[in-house]
Amino acid sequence: MKSLQGTHAVNRQVLADHVYDEILESLMDGRMLPGTSVSIDGTARDLEVSPTPVREALARLEHTGMVQRVALKGYRVAPLASADDMAHLMEARLVIEPVNTKLASERMAEDVIAALEQSIHHMEAAPRGPSFAEFRGYFDADELFHRLIAENAGNPFMLAAYNALGGQVQRFRLFSGVGITDANHAISEHKAIFKALQAGDGDDASAQMVRHLSNVRSRAMADAPETGALPEI
């Protein structure tokens, strides 16, 4: 009986993740326009699932800021992020992530070093085409690098702060028809952070994270219209 229950739980999670990925891809590729409502029943019919995994997926996506819950009306696609939104997010990340990086430098285990290095390799090898399906591997590897640092900083309150901001990053990754435009810079900056972490130099690692996030902010502001899609973080 235990085994059957376990299998049921796994299957349900796989289904929920699949629905989440399908909706996320539609949002990232711009097939769901800002301000439009998201029908739970209609989405369930389109994906040939029950409404339950759709509700679960939308609740997860609300955390990213990509959809918004409206009282008594369900969910709608969030407006495109503005340059001011991006500036505010980056200000917060510049407070949190350099501290996480310095803390993590004091706790770097071999398996974490290996995972960070592998994430950089995946960023280098991943496609960077115009659709989300094409740049998803890069997207995931980039996010993993930052998350590994936060998770290994050893401070649960800093991790909670990172998680609260980290979810919002997806809102700024609307590359419909463009793909990844900033990969070479981002990969080079990740390598500099990694090198300092590998050497156990917390001050340099923190400084390299500041440099990376500051450069991301500058590149985003240079490339973004007053309201609209912004480059990758």
Residues 6+ apart with CB under 8 A from 88: none
Return left, alpha or beta for 35; rule: phi > 0 is left, psi -120 to 50 is alpha, else beta: left
Q: How many Å apart are CA 203 and CA 98, to the nearest integer?
A: 9
Q: What is the mean pLDDT of residues 202-227?
A: 84
Q: How many Å apart are CA 155 and CA 20, to the nearest integer?
A: 29
Please determine, for residue 127, whether its predicted confidence score (pLDDT) is greater than 70: yes
Weakest mean pLDDT among 8-12, 102-106, 114-118, 179-183: 8-12
Q: What is the mean pLDDT of residues 100-117?
A: 97
What residue ranges do the domains of the chain occupy?
2-77, 83-223
Determine the CATH number of domain 2-77.
1.10.10.10
Determine the CATH number of domain 83-223.
1.20.120.530
Please determine, for residue 128, whether its predicted confidence score (pLDDT) is greater than 60: yes
In the chain, at which residue ranges do the beta strands (DSSP E only) sit?
37-38, 67-70, 74-77
Please determine, for residue 229, whether its predicted confidence score (pLDDT) is greater than 80: no
